Amino acid sequence: RREGGKAYVRCGSRASSENTVRVGVLGASGYTGSEVLRLLANHPQFGVALLTADRKAGQPIASVFPHLATQKLPDLIAVKDADFSYVDAVFCCLPHGTTQEIIRGLPNHLKIVDLSADFRLRDISEYEEWYGQPHRAPELQKEAIYGLTEILREEIRNARLVANPGCYPTSIQIPLVPLIKAKLIDIKNIIIDAKSGVSGAGRSVKENLLYTEVAEGINSYGVTRHRHVPETEQGLSDAAHSKVTISFTPHLMPMIRGMQSTIYVEMAPGVSTEDLYQQLKRSYENEEFAVLLGNGVVPRTHSVRGTNYCLINVFPDRIPGRAIIISVIDNLVKGASGQALQNLNLMMGFPENLGLHYQSLFP
C-alpha cells in the first residue's frame, strides 16, 4: 500500500538484492528481538529475511509489536519451519535454556550472535550450577566467542558463534577490565551497586514487573545471588589472571531502559584516581562506543537511551585510597541488541558502527 506513486527513499529493512547480508531473527517476539529490528531499519547492508516466534507463528510482527507496523517485514514463523538456505546470519534472541539445542541444529554456513546466556560461561559446570540444567551443546561452547566487542574484537571478527554479553556484565567489564589488567585496583574489594531499567527482564509477564509494582519504587532483587555474577567474574578473572569475587547488588528502577553501575573500588597502593582516568583514556581513546567523559562529568543514562554507547568516568572517594566508577548503557542496545549488531558487523567484515549511529532519545 505504501509504495504508490510518490518517489521516496524506501524505509524498512526487508532483505532485498540491494542488501548484501540476509539476516534472520530467532525469537522475534521479545524485546531484544524487536530491538534488533529497530536498529536494522537503518542499516545499509543488512536486510531482514526471516523472523521466528514459535507461539506467534503465522502472525505478522505488527500483531506482536504494533510499533513495527510501519516497516515491511516478513511474518513470524516457527523455527522448525525456517529455511535457512537463504539466510546468511542470525540473531538468536531466544530464552536461555532452549537456545543451546536450537543453535546446535542450525546449518554451518550461518554466522550466529546469541543474545541468551547459553554460551557465555566457558565452564559448563558453572552453567549447570547457575541455570539449573546441564549444558546441551558443550562442543559448541568451546567454539563460542564472548562478544564484549571492545575487549575481544579480533576474536569476534573471526568467530562463527558469538555469545553476546549480558547487560550488567557489559556495563561492569568495560570500565574494570583495563584497570584490572593494569593492576590499578584491588581485585578483592570490588563493590558494584547496579541499577537497571525494567526492560532488562524482557517481556516476561510477571507480577513484580507490573506497572503498579514497579513505578514509584525501588526493588532490590537478587541481593545475594544474580545470574550475571558468574559471567562478570569470568571476565574480570580473565583480566586478573586470578579468581575475582565481586560484591554485586542489582536494583530494579522505575524506568524502561537504562542501566548504571556505580562501582566502588580500592586502588592499588600509590595509585590515584587520575591514574585510573588516564588508563581508561588510553584504553578507549580510539573507541567509538566506549567513551570516557571529560574530567568530573557524570555519566547519565539519559545520554545513552536508544544508543550503543557506554559512557564511563572515575571519581575520587571521600575515603582515602578508594575511587568511584560510574558506567552507563542502554541495557537493550549496548547491553543486548546493539552490541549484537556491532559484533555481526565485525563478523561480516563491515565497520563495526555500521547502522549504529543513533543518538540518545532525550528528552
Give 133 or 359: the residue with its C-beta nearer to a copy of itself: 359
If phi > 0 it is left, if psi is from -120 to 50 it is alpha, else beta; for residue 241 that is: left
The count of other CB atoms within 10 Å of the CB of residue 358 is 18
Give 132 or 296: the residue with its C-beta nearer to a copy of itself: 296
139-161 burial code (b ≥16 CB/10 A, e <16):
ebbeebbbbbbbbbeeebbebeb
Give 7 or 85: the residue with its C-beta nearer to a copy of itself: 7
Query: What cell was used for 247?
Result: 560484591
- In the complex, the smallest distance separating the C-beta of residue 29 from a copy of itself, rounded to whole angstroms, is 11
- In the complex, the smallest distance separating the C-beta of residue 103 from a copy of itself, rounded to whole angstroms, is 26
Query: What cell was used for 237?
Result: 578473572
Continuous segment of H or E residues that includes residue 301 = none
CA neighbor of 339 nearest in space, from 2, 54, 13, 35: 35
Give 85 or 158: the residue with its C-beta nearer to a copy of itself: 158
Give 174 or 354: the residue with its C-beta nearer to a copy of itself: 354
On the CB side of 178, CA atoms within 13 Å amount to: 20
Active-site residue (options: 92, 93, 167, 310) = 167
- In the complex, the smallest distance separating the C-beta of residue 348 from a copy of itself, rounded to whole angstroms, is 14
Q: Taking the alpha carbons of 131, 137, 142, 147 in that order, is the dihedral positive or negative? A: negative
Q: DSSP assignment of 43-69, as one string?
A: -SSEEEEEEE-GGGTTS-HHHH-GGGT
The count of other CB atoms within 10 Å of the CB of residue 362 is 12
CA neighbor of 94 nearest in space, from 117, 68, 116, 69: 116
Give 235 or 299: the residue with its C-beta nearer to a copy of itself: 299
Give 116 or 308: the residue with its C-beta nearer to a copy of itself: 308
Long-range (24+ apart) CB contacts under 8 A made by 36-40 are 36/91, 36/93, 36/337, 36/340, 36/341, 37/13, 37/61, 37/65, 37/68, 37/71, 37/73, 38/68, 38/337, 39/333, 39/337, 39/338, 39/341, 39/355, 39/356, 39/358, 40/13, 40/341, 40/355
- In the complex, the smallest distance separating the C-beta of residue 104 from a copy of itself, rounded to whole angstroms, is 30
Distance CA 317, CA 344 (A): 39
- In the complex, the smallest distance separating the C-beta of residue 54 from a copy of itself, rounded to whole angstroms, is 17
Residue 93 annotated to the active site: no
Distance CA 291, CA 265 (A): 20
- In the complex, the smallest distance separating the C-beta of residue 304 from a copy of itself, rounded to whole angstroms, is 8
- In the complex, the smallest distance separating the C-beta of residue 225 from a copy of itself, rounded to whole angstroms, is 8
Query: What cell was used for 83?
Result: 529455511
**Among all residues, which ones are annotated catalytic?**
167
